[in-house]
Amino acid sequence: MLKENIKRLALGILAFVSAISIGVASADNVRSYGTDLSKYQGNTAQFVRNDDEFTIAQVGGMYEDGSSYTQSTYTNQVKSALMQNKRAHTYIWLQTGNNSYLAKKAVNTFLPTINSTVPKGSIIALDCEAGYGNDINGNTNAVLDAMTTVKNAGYTPVFYSYQGYAHAHFDMNRIIATYPNSFWIAGYPYRNGIYPAPMEYFPSDNGVCIWQFSDHGSGANSVALDYDIDLLGITKNGYKNGNANKPVTTTPVIQEAKEDKKVINDTKTYTVKSGDTLSSIATRFNTTYQDLARLNNIASPYVIYPNQVIKIKGDNTVANNTSNSATTYVVKSGDTLSGIANKFGTSYQSLASLNGISNPNYIYVGERLKVKGYVSTRAYKVTYGDTLSGISNKLGVSVSYLAQKNGINNANLIFVGETLNY
């Protein structure tokens, strides 16, 4: 979603959540964390933490002139989320102003795709954060008509915006009166994806069901993610008892996800077919093309051939933390040769020599490096309020050392519960 500065709420106007604002949300057992995705996160559903429970993927959008666009990543993101045992939902970018006809048309345009992808009862959120004028009554009528179209189609309507924009352009009292607890609110007290959500900065408002509290959670390969907390359990809609493996209805995409999960569990190899790419195979098996390339010793530009047998599963073992014998390490995004050397108590020159690397500044993600030496077993667990500079002072090491040793690209972005080696 948009990453405008105005979207981050000033801390001075943020208040701690009141019981009237989120109703039963004070019960921790109904709360869950998840992400929302667009094409910028790629085909594979991304999450900040392993125990995140849901994602909301963009199917497309419509503008005030009636033009629309689709997100080619939508069905793959939903399928990938389901394969990871996460609940999947939908959002539409709705920039149709006070035009009720276009607002309803936007929903109807994407319903065929949604109907074949996610279960009935799941969320269809309307992302209304730009393109609305001063006609508050007209804007509200249009959005309510769109939400009613969502409801009549058998889904859960949700309204998304950030607090200031919502109250400046819509009659939020009418929206919440018509669809109680349907406000997905955006407000970022911090730039990073801190966990848990900093509820002392909750942007208190009526009818809030989900709070998007960060636009800088970190996914695979440091992909920036919107991070959300479901306060009322609304993301369980469409899934029996909130179980991602038990959608209330089935769709072709849901069925594909089930079949592919079974294939992954049962299959260790795949025979390449005409038209396959390493990336498309990776998406099918819920992995990455880098992992497949590493597992099958396929070098860039990753050419594969029909009838070639690709290993899907294999020994993904990396360096043992107590071994001083030669073993292997798989390069991750953000790694440097010197950073890897620090992890294993050796020098980048030794690693370069051991692996025949002529240019120590050039290593690539997925590359397997032979390493020697002990891995440091000293570790520090990040707690609420920690900063990398504060931790470095506690441990008597430099910020750059901690960042390099732990593959941290942004020294201002660490997460509660994260383990840092030093």
Residue 346 has pLDDT above 80, yes or no: no
Average pLDDT over residues 397-406: 76
Whether 226 contacts 212, CB under 8 Å: yes
Start-end of H helices in 71-208: 74-83, 100-115, 136-152, 163-169, 172-178
Return the pLDDT at 144. 99
The model's pTM is 0.63
**Digit-coded pLDDT (tens) for 4-19:** 433 443 333 333 333 3
Predicted local confidence at residue 127, as pLDDT:
98
What CA–CA distance (Å, rounded) separates 182 from 206?
A: 9
pLDDT over 70 (residue 197): yes
For 160, the enclosing helix (H) or strand (E) is strand 156-162
Is 242:233 a contact under the CB 8 Å cutoff? yes
Residues 59-113: tens digit of each pLDDT:
999 999 999 999 999 999 999 999 889 999 999 999 999 999 999 999 999 999 9
Angle, in degrees to the nearest 10, between helices 136-152 and 100-115: 30
Give the span between the Cα atoms of 403 and 81, in whole angstroms: 30
Structural domains in the chain, sorted by start: 5-252 (3.20.20.80), 267-311 (3.10.350.10), 327-421 (3.10.350.10)
C-alpha gyration radius of the chain:
24
Between residues 153 and 264, the one the model is more confident about: 153
Average the pLDDT over 219-235 and give the result: 83
Predicted confidence (pLDDT) at residue 252 exceeds the cutoff of 90 = yes
Residue 133 has pLDDT above 60, yes or no: yes
- What is d(CA 146, CA 327) in angstroms, rounded to the nearest whole number? 58
* Contacts with 93 (C-beta within 8 Å, 6 or more apart), sequence order: 58, 60, 61, 62, 127
The whole-angstrom separation of Cα 88 and Cα 54 is 6
Asked if 153 and 184 count as a contact pair (C-beta separation under 8 A), the reply is: no
**The pLDDT of residue 265:** 66
pLDDT for residue 226 is more than 50: yes
Structure tokens at 69: 């666009």
DSSP string spanning 344-411? TTS-HHHHHHHHT-S-TT---TT-EEEE-SPPP--EEE--TT--HHHHHHHHT--HHHHHHHTT-S-T
Return d(Cα 282, Cα 229) in angstroms, integer.
29
Task: Give mean pLDDT, residues 298-309.
Answer: 84
Q: What is the mean pLDDT of the chain?
A: 82
Of 54-58, 64-68, 224-228, give the lowest mean pLDDT range: 224-228
- Report the candidate in 235, 212, 250, 246 with the shortest Cα–Cα distance to residue 89: 235
Confidence bin at 267 (pLDDT 50/70/90): low
**Which residues are CB-contacts of 139 (< 8 A; sequence separation ≥ 6)?**
97, 98, 132, 133, 169, 170
CB 332, CB 320: distance < 8 Å: no
What pLDDT does residue 299 have?
A: 78
Evaluate if residue 372 carries a pLDDT over 80: no
How far, in Å, CA of 146 to CA of 102, rounded? 9
Q: Can you name the residues that pair with 239 across neighbouring β-strands?
A: 247
Q: Identify which has the larger pLDDT, 17 or 314.
A: 314
Lowest mean pLDDT among 4-8, 128-132, 166-170: 4-8
Most confident of 12-16, 127-131, 197-201: 127-131
